[in-house]
Amino acid sequence: MSDLEKEVLESVDILVGGRIRFYRIINGISQGELARAIGLTFQQVQKYEKGVNRIAPSRLVRVAKILKVQAHDFFPTEDDLRSFEEHGEMYFSQYARAGMDLAACFMTIEDTAVRTNFKRLVIEMAASFDHMRKVDP
């Protein structure tokens, strides 16, 4: 396996772990609670979340059930991998907590129309910012 292939695998491990953490926090579950539910120590969950240890597919499916998501929700897209490679882990960790807090708040909005409009607002704001960044030197 080439060094590049190893780097991609490590990136995937880190991104999968970050998504486990994201969904765990959104669901209000501690590392210890998740660990007990899957029969591990909280230290092992910590290692999964940091991407230090790889999580087996069967265990990932169990984690997905507990966190009320599909197992494929943990896997990064090609765009995620590119962004991660370009900006590194610090880029994601800098915004991770704010994003999780925003997502947790979003999940409490029961009105579908409000959620849809809020999502559109955020997408438009992000697109506007991206456009300004390209225009403004």
Whole-number pLDDT of residue 135: 46
Supply the pLDDT for residue 99: 77
CA dihedral 41, 42, 44, 45 (to 10 degrees): 130
Domain ranges of the chain: 3-96
Q: Which fold has domain 3-96?
A: 434 Repressor (Amino-terminal Domain) (1.10.260)
pLDDT at 103: 79
Cα(first)–Cα(last) distance of the chain, in Å?
41
Q: How many CA atoms lie within 13 A of 84 on its CB side?
A: 20
Can you give the pLDDT of all 137 residues of the chain as single tens digits? 666 555 655 788 888 998 999 899 888 899 999 999 999 999 999 999 988 899 999 999 999 999 999 999 998 888 777 777 776 665 556 566 677 778 778 888 999 999 999 989 988 888 887 655 554 44
Q: What predicted TM-score, i.e. pTM, was given to this entire model?
A: 0.66
Please state, in angstroms and rounded to a whole number, the distance separating the CA atoms of residues 58 and 55: 8
Looking at residue 90, what is its pLDDT? 55
Token reading at 68: 């009320």
pLDDT of residue 137: 42
Per-residue burial over 69-96, b if 16 or more Cβ lie within 10 Å, else e, is beeeebebeeebeeebeeeeeeebeeee
Residue type at 24? R
**Whose structure tokens read 């979340």?**
49
